[in-house]
Structure formats: C-alpha cells, structure tokens
Amino acid sequence: MDGDLTQTELEAITALHQRNRPILVVLNKSDRYTAEELTLLLTSLQQKLRELVSPSYIVTAAADPAERIYLQTDDEGREHEIRRRPEPDVSRLASSLWQLIEREGMTLSALNASLFAGELSDEVAGRIVKVRQEVAERVIRGYCLGKGVAVALNPIPVADLVAALALDASMVMHLARVYGMSVSRGEAGELIRTIGAQMALLMATVWTVNLAASALKAGSGGLSTLVTAAAQGAMGYYTTYIVGKAAQRYFAQGRSWGSGGPKTIVQQILESADKDSILEQAREDIRQRLRA
C-alpha cells in the first residue's frame, strides 16, 4: 500500500489472517512523505491492524523513489535545477522478511507442491525453495560453529563428544521446522543415529581422530587441550556439517531418504563436500571465537 488503509485492503488482510497466513504490511512510496507524516501513517496502520498484524511487521519502503529537484549554485552564483532519483530503500522490508521466515518458517514451509502448482507461479515456488535452502544453510553453519567451540572448550574428555550430540539434535529439530515439519528430540536422535551409522562406515577416521583427541585430553591432565582444541573442534564442526546436510536432504525430500537410502545420500554429501576447505574455515572460525 502507499497510503492509509482502505476498506478493501483491510478486508484482504482480514481474510489472510483468518487463513492463519503470516502477514507483512509494507507502506511503499515512503519517500513522498515527511517524517511526521510517516509517523502518523504508521501509527494509524498499527492501530487499525492491531488485532491482525504485529507492529514489527508493518514497515516502510521506497521501491521506486520519485525524482527530486535540487538547486545547485555554480561558481558565478547562478542556480541550476538538477533532477536526481534517490536509491531504492527496502532495507526494513528485507530485514522483516528474514525475521518472518525465521519466526514463521513452519507456516511458510507448509506450502507444498500442490499449492505451488495451483496458486503460485513456478518462479515464486523456486524462490521459496531457494529461501528454504538459504535458511537451512544458515542454521547448519550456526550449529557447526556452536558445536566446534563447545568441543574445543569442553575440559571433560570423551564426554564432550556425547554432550555435543545435544547440539546436533537441536539442529535437526530446527531444520525440520524450516521445512514445515516437527520432530521430537527422540526422533531427532534416531535420525542422527541413522546418519551417524553411515558416517561411521564411510569416514571412520573422523571418529578415530575425535576419540584420540579426547583420550589425549584425559591422558595429559588437560595440558594438551590447547594443542588439540582447535583440531578437535574443527572435526566436531565438520561432522555436524555432514549431519546437517544429510538431515536437510531428508526433510527436503518429505522425510524420505529416497530409493538409495541414507548411505547413498551421506556418501553423495561426503563426496561433494570440500573437507579440507571446511576444516580450515572451521579452525579459523573457532580460533576467532576463542580469542573473542
């Protein structure tokens, strides 16, 4: 909208609210109003939509600002009119969209293939799929770093590996919500065990390094922690990355491993992942976090 709320707009928003759809109201052409006028308009919208839309989801934007006339004085004191078009301002809209996706991901992700075909264009469907992938990637990276730091800092040998599984379970539950699903912590643990069993077969050396590093902590009374922390933390980061990518594929396919089963998916992820690059990035991220 580009002004105060009309009855038609109110009816449309009410209909969306009744269907339990997330709603974001954008007051466009904000460049055409003074600061005082914008404040009054936003207050009016918030008041009229108080039962329908959260105030944080009512934002301003200037997608296509109108040209402005500026007076410029030359060296001889003569004034000239110059027309300039300001840059578009959609920063508040972009920020609110990310907040909406993160907070209402389950509702947004409930748009299934039939809804895409019946109500949305292929282009919009593709964008929503891409947004899911981007959000899932952010979730995975966040938990990777959290686990890497947790493993690096945990002074208790071997137990740090067990405790870190709680982070993996939380990540799996979070990814399920991104794809419009809900899993219990027990179901998340079962999924992790399924993925872990394939990882143990395909990359046994990872677990050997982890256990050896933990044993080294125990055998040295903690003196080797500084030496092993970054390496072990990076390995924890990497294993969580593989678990996250496998879980993402599982949820993206409608809670299915496909005809090849979990082993095929885990193997594909391991083959496509640049292990050395991921481990190097993990060590750098962990060192920066430990120095902070």
Most confident of 70-84, 204-218, 222-236: 70-84
One domain for residues 56 and 97: yes
Q: Is the pLDDT of residue 274 over 60?
A: yes
The answer on 194 and 139 residing in a single domain is: yes
Q: Are 79 and 72 in contact (CB under 8 A)?
A: yes
Q: 142 and 285 share a domain? A: yes
DSSP β-ladder status, 68-73 and 79-84: antiparallel
**In this structure, are 143 and 193 located in the same domain?**
yes
Is position 108 within any domain? no
Nearest 5°: CA angle at 168, between 155 and 138? Answer: 110
Residue 168 has pLDDT above 80, yes or no: yes
> In the listed set 68, 103, 138, which residue is the last one of a domain according to the structure?
103
CB 42 within 8 A of CB 28: no
Whether residue 41 is found in the same domain as residue 144: no
Helix/strand/coil for 70: strand
Which tokens is 253 given? 């396919």
Residue 234, classed as helix, strand or coil, is: helix
Q: Is residue 116 part of a domain?
A: no
- pLDDT reading at 227 higher than 50: no
Measure Cα distances from 49 to 17, 108, 270 in Å: 11, 21, 49
191 with 79, same domain: the answer is no
- Is 40 contained in some domain? yes
pLDDT digits (tens, 9 = 90+) for 15-62: 888 877 778 899 888 888 888 988 999 999 999 998 999 888 899 988
Residue 179 counted as domain residue: yes
Domain count, the chain: 2
Is 221 in the same domain as 163?
yes
One domain for residues 142 and 271: yes
Cβ-contact 203, 275 below 8 angstroms: no
Domain that holds residue 67: 7-103
Q: Phi and psi for 79 in degrees, rounded to 5?
A: -95, 140
Same domain, 138 and 272: yes
Considering the domain architecture, whether residues 96 and 232 belong to the same structural domain is answered as no
Q: How far is CA 67 from CA 23, 26, 27, 78, 172, in A?
A: 31, 21, 19, 22, 49
d(CA 253, CA 226): 41
**Cβ–Cβ < 8 Å for 61, 28:** yes
Task: Classify residue 39: in a domain, yes or no.
Answer: yes
Same domain, 134 and 46: no
- CA–CA separation, 151 and 102 (whole Å): 27
Prediction pTM value: 0.54
Can you give the pLDDT at residue 151? 79
Does residue 146 sit in the same domain as residue 69? no
Helix (H) or strand (E) holding 80: strand 79-84
Please name the amino acid found at residue 86: P
119 pLDDT above the threshold of 80: no
Tell whether the model's pLDDT for residue 248 goes beyond 90: yes
**pLDDT confidence bin for 268, thresholds 50/70/90:** very high
Is 50 exceeded by the pLDDT of residue 215?
A: no
